[in-house]
């Protein structure tokens, strides 16, 4: 394995009778932006903490580059973690916060300040050197936490819900910045989120977890276009999950059209239960018998050629080629 490659082998964590992470296998090549995605309690943070060494491993292995680091102390692994609560030292300046871990390693003052300043420049913090954490905004505090994690030259940076404390505007900005930083540094970022849009926007590799297991791992396009299970299709959004001829199937909502299709298409009909105007598109929900409620996302112009109204009965259709067989509902 190349330096910076990460491999999890049957990695397991149990807390008493609770299985938080159950025998997961995963390979993350060096230089990957990897997002762990899943609902609360599915084991994302526990997986990250085990990789960082902040949580012991019940069974299995963590291989980083050529080394099995499963039992290594956090500082010896070549990983760094940025926590959700930034955990800055309130009595130290920004510069000393960033340089702190180098001090612990015994670096001279000249050496650690030079390194800290280089990292601060990377995240645009130069101007705040002498400030105390309490004198910074949330976004700035987060950049300090980021700089503090990067100052150790990690092979892998772990980020646990790094954007959740930010307002929507700042979240988008920091998201772009994280991606840029990851590209510039060329190391892997492992980023925990429960937001599918965040994962889609950032990740080269999306790892979708459910109940301590990996439900699917793949590129954003893979998990969106070829969801393995109904859970993934529902979680990624934009899909209808239904049973057709006894098999679980997903159909993207933006592939469903109003009106009857040709003979080759699949046409269903039912009562219009919802119509939501969204600007470029209109979302229509139709209760289509055995198919259950089906959501159609229709381009605005097309919708207004023959608008659907609440309560009326309408046909909907899609091409059979847009039906995607799932391995489980
Ligand atoms: P996520 O990050 O996806 O929200 P976690 O990894 O935090 O999920 O938790 C996974 C499961 O492990 C949950 O059921 C949670 O209650 C349990 N868990 C996490 N940490 C502990 C702990 N220290 N003691 C007992 N159970 C825990």
Kindly report, residue by residue over 263-294, the tens digit of the pLDDT: 889 999 999 999 999 999 999 999 987 778 99
pLDDT tops 90 at residue 63: yes
Q: What is the CA radius of gyration of the chain?
A: 24
Asked whether the beta carbons of 300 and 276 are under 8 A apart, the reply is no
Backbone phi, psi, residue 287, to 5°? -85, 95
Cα torsion at 74, 76, 77, 80 (round to 10°)?
Answer: 60
Rounded to an integer, the average pLDDT of 65-74 is 94
Tell me the pLDDT band of 193, cut-offs 50, 70 and 90: very high
pLDDT of residue 85: 66
Could you tell me which residue, 290 or 300, shows the higher pLDDT?
Answer: 300
Q: Alpha helix locations (H) across 230-278?
A: 230-236
Least confident of 123-132, 169-178, 208-217: 169-178
**Domain 6-225 -> CATH class:** alpha beta
SS3 of 133-182: the string is HHHCCHHHHHHHHHHHHHCCCCCEEEEECCCCCCCHHHHHHHHHHHHHHH
The chain-wide mean pLDDT, for the chain, equals 93
Within 8 A by CB and 6+ apart from 262, the residues are none
- In angstroms, what is the span from residue 22 Cα to ligand 1's centroid? 12
pLDDT of residue 1: 66
The fold adopted by the segment(s) 238-325 is OB fold (Dihydrolipoamide Acetyltransferase, E2P) (2.40.50)
pLDDT of residue 265: 93
- Please state whether beta strands 33-37 and 188-193 pair in parallel, antiparallel, or not at all (unpaired): parallel
Q: How do the domains of the chain map onto residue ranges?
A: 6-225, 238-325
CB of residue 142 inside a 6 A radius of ligand 1:
no
Q: Which residue has the tokens 């030259």?
A: 153
- In angstroms, what is the span from residue 11 Cα to ligand 1's centroid? 15
- In angstroms, what is the span from residue 80 Cα to ligand 1's centroid? 21
Tell me the pLDDT band of 245, cut-offs 50, 70 and 90: confident
Kindly report, residue by residue over 136-157, the tens digit of the pLDDT: 988 889 889 999 999 999 999 9
Backbone phi, psi, residue 66, to 5°? -95, 0
- Percent above pLDDT 70 for the chain: 99
């Amino acid at each position: 394995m190349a330096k910076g490659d990460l491999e999890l082998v049957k990695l397991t964590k149990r807390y008493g009778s609770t299985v938080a992470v159950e025998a997961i296998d995963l390979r993350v090549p060096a230089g990957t932006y990897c997002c762990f995605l899943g609902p609360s309690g599915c084991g994302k943070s526990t997986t990250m903490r085990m990789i960082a060494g902040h949580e012991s491993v019940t069974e299995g292995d963590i291989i980083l580059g050529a080394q099995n680091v499963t039992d290594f102390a956090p500082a010896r692994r070549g990983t760094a973690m940025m926590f959700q609560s930034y955990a800055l030292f309130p009595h130290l300046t920004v510069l000393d916060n960033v340089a702190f871990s180098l001090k612990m390693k015994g670096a001279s003052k000249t050496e650690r300040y030079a390194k800290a300043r280089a990292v601060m420049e990377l995240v645009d913090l130069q101007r705040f050197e002498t400030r105390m954490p309490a004198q910074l905004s949330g976004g700035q505090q987060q950049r300090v936490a980021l700089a503090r994690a990067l100052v150790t030259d990690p092979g892998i940076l772990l980020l646990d819900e790094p954007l959740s404390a930010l307002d929507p505007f700042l979240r988008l900005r920091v998201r772009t910045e994280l991606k840029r930083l990851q590209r510039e540094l060329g190391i892997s970022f492992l980023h925990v989120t429960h937001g599918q849009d965040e994962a889609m926007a950032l990740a080269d590799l999306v790892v979708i977890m459910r109940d301590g297991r990996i439900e699917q791992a793949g590129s954003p396009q893979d998990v969106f276009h070829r969801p393995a299970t109904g859970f993934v299709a529902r979680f990624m959004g934009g899909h209808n999950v239904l049973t057709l001829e006894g098999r679980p199937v997903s159909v993207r909502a933006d592939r469903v059209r109003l009106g009857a299709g040709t003979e080759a298409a699949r046409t269903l009909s039912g009562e219009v239960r919802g119509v939501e105007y969204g600007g470029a598109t209109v979302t229509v929900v139709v209760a289509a018998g055995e198919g259950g409620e089906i959501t159609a996302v229709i381009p605005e112009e097309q919708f207004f050629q023959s608008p659907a109204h609440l309560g009326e009965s309408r046909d909907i259709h899609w091409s059979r080629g847009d039906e995607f067989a799932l391995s489980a509902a």
